[in-house]
Amino acid sequence: MKQAVITGVRQAELADVAEPRPFENWVVVKIHAAPMCTEYKSFIAGHNASLMGHEAAGEVVAAAQPCRVKAGDRVAVMPLAGCGQCEYCLSGDFIHCARALDFVGLTGQETGHSTMAQYVLKPDWLLPKLPDDMSYAHGGLTCCALGPSFGAMQTMNVSAFDTVLITGLGPVGLGAVVNARYRGAQVIAAESHPWRVQRAQEMGVAAVIDPRSDDPLGQIRALTHGRGADCAVDCSGTVQAERLCIDATRRKGKVAFIGECNDDLAIRISPDMIRKGLTLIGAWHYNLNDIAKVLQVIQNSPLIDLLVSHTFPMSRIQEAFELQASGECAKVILDPWG
Ligand SMILES: [Zn+2]
Ligand SMILES: [Zn+2]
């Protein structure tokens, strides 16, 4: 099968690799839509990567034993995998599985672990079925496009009573706008990239402030009658934006961090937490039991087509990565068969 690989700095191509074989309750899914996520960072840095992609939607084509899905089922492919046995997996929070899976050791296969490929190997219980009338491109939005912010907003109970600050409007941030708007919340966004600012405005955000301008905190306070946002979601993974989320959220408000960040944010326990009464959470994905609600957002949100800006045949992987590196896109989806 074809699989995307990075071969150098800003160089990507397709390689021929072995097709995965079904194994116990791990079934083979023919991928029809592979949303692109953070892999472009490896593309820019030139990190050789042969296992790229963790988001997909497709069709089950082979199972080794009777299981929860069968050949012909149209499914979303959840990111990563879990052991299926620990307390986190059993309660639907498989993304936080307590036992690290050794894919190669367990399955005896070197391929099938990534989704920028024509087939993927996945445990049957991580393949929720898609509604018959949902496209694969939309089905793939159940992964990182909508997933992390959906999980955050479920935990924060975001509703139509709330003003939500969203910092960073990459695909995850634009997904957060879709989730917040679906819940009826008013959105204030912080972003400086012109393409993404415009896309957020098309999605009906109340205001977009430039985080690099003078006094973004003052602008958010002015937009909220001096009170601050009720909730904030950082999708940028920068310390500056994380601090803005904490400072611009009102007393007793809630802040969720969903942008991966390797730098150290300094949290001041007394002023930020105890006296302000903030709730700070991290969210990676949503509980698997909420999949029906995520599918409902996809089916009913009038903004969903604005969340997918481009679809490329995987044969144009180079072009797709270059577009992502430019930032002039929302979610970009690969068709591994084109
Ligand atoms: Zn587990
Ligand atoms: Zn992702």
pLDDT band at 317 (very low <50, low <70, confident <90, very high): very high
Give domain status of residue 175, yes or no. Answer: yes
List CB contacts of 275: < 8 A, sequence separation 6 or more. none
> What separation in Å is there between the alpha carbon of 155 and the centre of ligand 1?
21
34 within a domain of the structure (yes/no): yes
**CA distances (Å), 124 to each of 67, 76, 292, 293, in order?**
7, 11, 17, 20
Please name which ligand lies nearest the alpha carbon of 81. Answer: 1
Tell me whether residue 48 is exposed, middle or buried, using C-beta atoms within 10 angstroms of its C-beta: 0 to 12, 13 to 18, 19 or more. exposed
- Give the distance (Å) from ligand 1 centre to CA of residue 333: 29
Look up the CATH number of the domain holding residue 94: 3.90.180.10
Distance between Cα 333 and ligand 2 center (Å): 11
Assess contact for 150 and 297: CB atoms under 8 A: yes
**61 Cα–ligand 2 center, Å:** 23
pLDDT for 48 beyond 90: no
Q: Is 247 found in the same domain as 172?
A: yes
Ligand nearest to the CA of 82: 1
In this structure, the answer to whether residues 134 and 63 fall within a common structural domain is yes
Question: Relative to the alpha carbon of 123, which ligand is closest?
Answer: 1
Cα-to-centroid distance, 116 and ligand 1 (Å): 24
83 Cα–ligand 1 center, Å: 4
Residue 85 CA to ligand 1 center (angstroms) comes to 5
pLDDT digits (tens, 9 = 90+) for 83-118: 999 999 999 999 999 998 899 999 999 999 999 999
| 151 and 35 together in one domain | no
DSSP, residue by residue, 235-301: -S--HHHHHHHHHHEEEEEEEEE-S---S-----IIIIIITT--EEEE-SS--GGGHHHHHHHHHH-
Residues by chain with Cβ below 5 Å of ion ligand 2: 37, 55, 144
Same domain (yes/no): 87, 211: no
Is residue 134, in this structure, part of any structural domain at all?
Answer: yes
Residues 28 and 83 occupy one common structural domain: yes
CA distance 253 to 230: 5
Name 105's Cβ contacts closer than 8 Å, sequence gap at least 6: none
Residue 250, domain CATH: 3.40.50.720
Same domain, 75 and 103: yes
Tell me which residue range forms the domain holding 44.
2-143+303-335
- Give residue 8 CA to ligand 2 midpoint distance, Å: 22
Residue 162 within a domain: yes
Give yes or no for a contact between 181 and 187, defined as CB atoms under 8 angstroms apart.
yes
Q: Which residues of 16-46 are buried (b: 16+ CB within 10 A; e: fewer)?
A: ebebbbbbebbbbbbbbbbbbbebbeebeee
- Retrieve residue 193's tokens: 């990239």
pLDDT at position 138? 98
pLDDT tens for residues 150-197? 999 999 999 999 999 999 999 999 999 999 999 999 999 999 999 999
Look-up of token digits 């089922």: 73
Q: Is residue 291 part of a domain?
A: no
For 193, residues 6+ apart whose C-beta sits below 8 A from its C-beta are: 169, 327, 328
Q: Can you say how many angstroms the Cα of residue 51 is from the centroid of all Cα atoms in its chain?
A: 18
Q: Is 256 found in the same domain as 167?
A: yes
Closest CA to 15 of 29, 1, 27, 26: 1
Contact yes or no for 159/105 (Cβ under 8 A): no
Nearest-ligand number for the alpha carbon of 332: 2
* Averaged pLDDT, 228-245: 98
pTM confidence score: 0.97
Question: How many domains is the chain partitioned into structurally?
Answer: 2
Per the domain annotation, does 169 fall within a domain? yes
Centroid of ligand 1 to alpha carbon of 59 (angstroms): 25
Ligand nearest to the CA of 94: 1
Q: Give the pLDDT of residue 240.
A: 97
Residues 138, 22 share a domain: yes
| Domain shared by 23 and 95, yes or no | yes
Does one domain contain both 107 and 214? no
How close is the Cα of 79 to the center of ligand 2, in Å?
7
How far is the centre of ligand 2, averaged over its atoms, from the C-alpha of 174 (Å)?
14
Model confidence at 241: pLDDT above 90 = yes
Looking at the structure, do residues 134 and 172 belong to the same domain, yes or no? no
- Neighbouring CB atoms inside 10 A of 153's CB total 28
* Domain shared by 265 and 158, yes or no: yes
